[in-house]
Amino acid sequence: MKKTGIIAAFIILVVGINFPKGEASQSFGGITLLEITPRIITPNGDAMNDAAFFRFDSTLTGIPLDANIFDITGAKISGISLDSSETALRWDGKDDGGHAVPSGIYIYCITIGQKNATGTVVVAR
Ligand SMILES: [Ca+2]
């Protein structure tokens, strides 16, 4: 099997396990993470899938939360910032220094109160 085929199979496996259809939403008590879209981002500035949005059912303003992106070794890459809509968090495929991250699989972890949601986002360049 070609290397690209192996990577594609791995991506399908990881994304599929972490986000089975219909089980995307996760409750944090008073607030619900509705969806993460797109799951595969292409941050090249063409306005198509340039950032991943973590959409909630109500405003995040004033809610204490901890949201970060890690690489597959567990190293912290970046925080996830509040989108201008204030009902979503947004990650644009950059590290905390503002540098574009390489293609690969990244892990998000969002903690609100005692609950957390984790899963994967793929960066493809
Ligand atoms: Ca793009």
| Segment 100-125, tens digit of pLDDT | 999 999 999 999 988 999 999 999 99
CATH of residue 15: 2.60.40.10
Amino acid type, 92: D
Q: Say how many Å lie between the CA of residue 121 and the centre of ligand 1.
A: 14
Q: 65 is in which domain, residue-wise? A: 3-123
Q: Comparing 35 with 12, which gets the higher pLDDT?
A: 35
What does pLDDT average to over the chain? 88
Ligand 1 being an ion, which residues bring their Cβ within 5 A of it? 42, 44, 46, 48-50
Q: Say how many Å lie between the CA of residue 106 and the centre of ligand 1.
A: 17
- pLDDT of the residue at 7: 65
- pLDDT of the residue at 25: 84
- pLDDT of the residue at 76: 98
How many distinct structural domains can be found in the chain?
Answer: 1
- pLDDT of the residue at 22: 45
Q: Say how many Å lie between the CA of residue 43 and the centre of ligand 1.
A: 5
pLDDT reading at 20 higher than 50: no
Residue 40 and residue 52 in contact, taking contact as beta carbons nearer than 8 Å: no
Q: Say how many Å lie between the CA of residue 37 and the centre of ligand 1.
A: 13
For 4-8, 13-17, 51-55, 97-101, which range has the lowest pLDDT when averaged over its residues?
13-17
